[in-house]
Amino acid sequence: MFFFKISRSQTCKPRSHNMASKNQKNKPHVFFFPFLAHGHMIPTVDMAKLFASRGVRATIITTPLNLPLISRSTQQSTLLGLPINLLSIRFPCAEAGLPEGCQNVDAASSYSMMAAFFKATAMLQEPLEQLLREHHPDCLIAGSFFPWTTDSAAKFGIPRIVFHGTGLFPLCAGDSVTVHQPYKDVASDSDPFVIPNLPGIEIQMTRMLLRAFLMSNEDTFLSRLFKAEKQSEVTSFGVVVNSFYELEGIYADHYKKVLGRKAWHIGPLSLCNRDQNEKSNRGKQASMDAGDCLKWLDSKKPDSVIYICFGSKSNFTEPQLKEIARGLEASGQNFIWVVRRGKKDEDQDEEWLPEGFETRIEGKGLIIRGWAPQMLILDHKSVGGFVTHCGWNSTLEGVSAGVPMVTWPVSAEQFYNEKLVTEVLGVGIPVGVKKWVPVVGDYIEEEAIVNAVKEIMEGEEAEEMRNRAKKLSKMAREATEEGGSSYSDLSCLIEELVGPSD
Ligand code: UDP
């Protein structure tokens, strides 16, 4: 368990780009083009707000149905005096074979829909370039799943910066596994192997925890996309990372010095949201009134509530949901549990809940069906633990809130994030997931849930984890304040783009 101290010099190198002189007197204009998933749009909106707060003109590009999700939080920032422009481009559902209205990854519910979704995103190149032609921004910060945006930006002589939406540890670990293929050296899918060429403590994985398509030679849309994404990471101007140096310093250094990437860590981005409205207006409309949620939390003792949420995409089977319900009840803890299901009939018991569950847990547990104001909840003093699927945003929001975590990864790079939380930082306990599964999580039994929840909520070890988590939270806040590591790295990035301010 260690935290990173700043050891490198934070000097900026303004670049000689023709944009620099053009905009020295005016505000530089940055286009933000997030991938169409909540886990990318939410931090990108935060990033645009952060840039706007530092004197940059920020414009976010998205599609019509994603626009209202984004404008909910940008309206708030306009009220606070930091206007952000929004531009919309048509999403070609029909041309890609998608049902009308499928403009966000959370609506693509099968592999074939995902393939069609990525096909549609590639068709956004022409309309994006039209906007670049009309608006002449100075820089394009685009999601990593839009690898073609590097070429688009080059056509207009502006830099493209990549936003992966993940951290430095998972970027370094993922790169090592892709390049060195250590999974080839073990006999079975459950045999452990060490991730080579990674600084810090030894990290072990198994083949079962890796994305299957990475280990296969099959030519699929995912393998092609992944290769193009890696390639554009190298050919783009650089990578902007939602993290902070004190959290992942040795991996930040490794990413830059050993892997040779140009990168700026400017997070946690979520910390740009300071008041209640800003915190509760991220992503979708919350299914529970933020005030009611706070009132419920206010009635609980400090650090006595565990918050359970698996992000915007992950799902579970009904038997698994029932097992989670039993586990939460048996743990004896207060809880807020976010379930991505609506209630069909007020008077009917739902099949995914044990009989009489809601009556028994009244006053002790709260189920939010749909979307929760996550940041608001995590930041409340009564919340003392977080069961998370380890999406990068949730992981960093947990770190920023200073709560220990039960890690329950499902897919994407979440198994690397689990290792960071549990083994590198020592602020979490794994629930024991053994298999990477696309979207619908691996099965975990009640007993494992009870044990993991108790381990982060009760006893001496929980207290030690909580103390470490609170220290990290303090460091996260300091990093984003004037003079902090993330604040300074953002200054460096802006200077590189437009030259030093007079
Ligand atoms: N989120 C939220 N309420 C919910 C579910 C998710 O506010 O009910 C937010 C969460 O705070 C985070 C984002 O959605 O900012 C999810 O991103 P993450 O990387 O954690 O997971 P993903 O959804 O991409 O798997």
Q: What is the 3-state secondary structure (H, E, C) of 404-465?
A: CEEECCCCCCHHHHHHHHHHHCCCEEECCCCCCCCCECCCCCHHHHHHHHHHHHCHHHHHHH
CATH architecture of 18-272+477-498: 3-Layer(aba) Sandwich (3.40)
153: phi then psi, degrees, rounded to nearest 5: -60, -40
Cis preceding-peptide flag for 268 (omega within 30 of 0): yes
Q: How confident is the model at residue 17 (pLDDT cuts 50, 70, 90)?
A: very low
Write the pLDDT tens digit of every residue in 378-437.
999 999 999 999 999 999 999 999 999 999 999 999 999 999 999 999 999 999 999 898
The H helix count followed by the E strand count for the chain is 21, 15
Is 121's pLDDT higher than 70?
yes
Atom of ligand 1 nearest to the CA of 390: 20
Same CATH topology for 18-272+477-498 and 286-475: the answer is yes
| Distance in angstroms (rounded) separating the CA atoms of residues 176 and 182 | 9
How many A from CA of 312 to the centre of ligand 1?
5
Q: For position 442, what pLDDT does the model report?
A: 83
The residue count for the chain: 502
* Cβ contact 366:336 at 8 Å: yes
**Domain locations along the chain:** 18-272+477-498, 286-475
> Between the CA of residue 433 and those of 306, 314, 317, 388, 494, what are the distances in Å?
19, 14, 15, 12, 41
How many A from CA of 182 to the centre of ligand 1?
31
Ligand 1 pocket, CB under 6 A: 37-39, 42, 282-283, 309, 311-314, 338, 371-372, 374-375, 391-394, 397
Average pLDDT, the chain: 92
How many A from CA of 38 to the centre of ligand 1?
7
Write the pLDDT tens digit of every residue in 330-387.
999 999 999 988 766 665 668 899 999 999 999 999 999 999 999 999 999 999 999 9
Strands (E), 197-243: 204-205, 238-241
CATH architecture of 286-475: 3-Layer(aba) Sandwich (3.40)
Is 19's pLDDT higher than 60?
no
Name the 3-class secondary structure at 333: coil
